[in-house]
Amino acid sequence: MRTYNLDLTPLFRSTVGFDRMGRLLDSALNSEAPSYPPYNIEKLADNAYRVTMAVAGFRSKDIDITQDNNTLIVTGGQEKDGPEARYLHRGIATRAFEHRFDLAEHVNVAKADLENGLLVIDLKREVPEELKPRKIAIAAGADSATIEHDKEAA
């Protein structure tokens, strides 16, 4: 049986704000996708989203959240302070990480919380009024006149 190693990373990235099956296809085909720390992306409402990351062992000062245009960047790293502990078993990973999420137009971070080892980032789509669809009133009867009609009257 042949296996094909397709790299669809440029086509399908982790996205928030628009629904794509590509992320599922990419993760199925590309097992090398970053998996640390694990995260969920939820759609709470039509214009509300939530990214939840499991960051056990990290404090709020160890994590940096940046929104650069339509990219959400979450980075984390711990400072080594004090003598190195001697672990018999170390199951909680505290290695540095960086996750990038592509955001749809007008999706911005509403708030971020860190509680019980979960980093919760709430996102909200806020379309400016001038870009929202608007209803155009149609004039009827004597109120409506065409350009040709106005030219004939002159």
Contact of 63 with 119, CB cutoff 8 Å: yes
In order of their start, the domains of the chain are 15-153 (2.60.40.790)
Q: What is the per-residue pLDDT across 37-58, written as a single tens digit (0 to 9) for each?
A: 899 999 998 889 999 999 988 9
| pTM confidence score | 0.63
With contact defined as beta carbons under 8 Å apart, do 73 and 36 qualify? no
Q: Name which residue leads in pLDDT, 79 or 12.
A: 79
Q: How far apart are CA 11 and CA 106, in angstroms?
A: 21
- Residues facing 65 on adjacent strands: 74
Element at 73 (helix H, strand E): strand 71-76
SS3 150: helix
Q: H/E element holding 149?
A: helix 147-153
What is the structure's pLDDT at 106? Answer: 86
